[in-house]
Amino acid sequence: MTAPLAIADGAASGQYAVDFSWNEGASHSNGLVRVGSLPEPDSDNDGLPDWWEELYFEGPTIADPAVDSDDDGMTNLQEYVARTNPRERTSVLQLTAAAFEVGGFKVFFPTVSGVVYRLLRSDDLSSWAPVGPDIPGTGATGEATDPDAPRPDEARCYRILVVR
């Protein structure tokens, strides 16, 4: 079950602030906080939890994990993992810009608060290596730098992995 959670400002008259934290069993996405037990209920065993299918598809067994519902290049299962909106074409995890800068080659990508990302690189598209530390999502544009940047005449591929 998903429900909105309001956290009141402690200074407001008649309202009280509450501090809380969690390690497991709770997550947040798109302004909603969800508290549940692990593993998450998945009535149709398709890899998409019921709460997520209800949030975006109005029923716990409606979404097909292999379908790209918003035609943005990511399947519904990939959208779930990335915590992007499967019904919004502009909500997609992809590299949005790249530039050679002092210190290396920098890539930019949209992030979701609470999601952790890792930049990977490959020179042959068959083996991928992590580049730098993991990047915590903030909801703003994320950036990662490859300090061992290729020369401008060399080809190198990059991708962003959702770690958790």
Domain boundary assignment for the chain: 97-162
Inform me whether the pLDDT recorded for 132 exceeds 60: yes
The token pair at 101 is 């800068």
CA distance 62 to 161: 26
Mean pLDDT, range 143-153, rounded to an integer = 86
What is the average pLDDT value for the chain, to the nearest integer?
Answer: 84
Mean pLDDT, range 63-75, rounded to an integer = 97
In angstroms, the Cα distances linking 19 to 6, 58, 77, 96, 139 are 12, 31, 33, 36, 21
CA distance 69 to 46: 15
Report the pLDDT value the prediction gives residue 34, as an integer from 0 to 100: 61
CA distance 143 to 147: 13
Inform me whether the pLDDT recorded for 153 exceeds 60: yes
Inform me whether the pLDDT recorded for 87 exceeds 70: yes
Contact 160, 141 (CB under 8 A): no
Phi, psi at 94, each rounded to 5°: -160, 155
Instruction: Provide the whole-model pTM.
Output: 0.72
Chain centre to alpha carbon of residue 159: 13
Q: Which residues contact 116 (CB under 8 A, 6 or more apart)?
A: 134, 135, 136, 137, 162, 163, 164
Amino acid at position 109, single letter: F
Could you tell me the pLDDT band of residue 32, with boundaries at 50, 70 and 90?
low
> Among candidates 61, 109, 58, which has minimal Cα distance to 84?
109
pLDDT, tens digit, 9 for 90 and up, residues 34-58? 665 567 899 999 999 999 999 999 9
pLDDT, tens digit, 9 for 90 and up, residues 2-23? 444 555 444 444 544 444 555 5
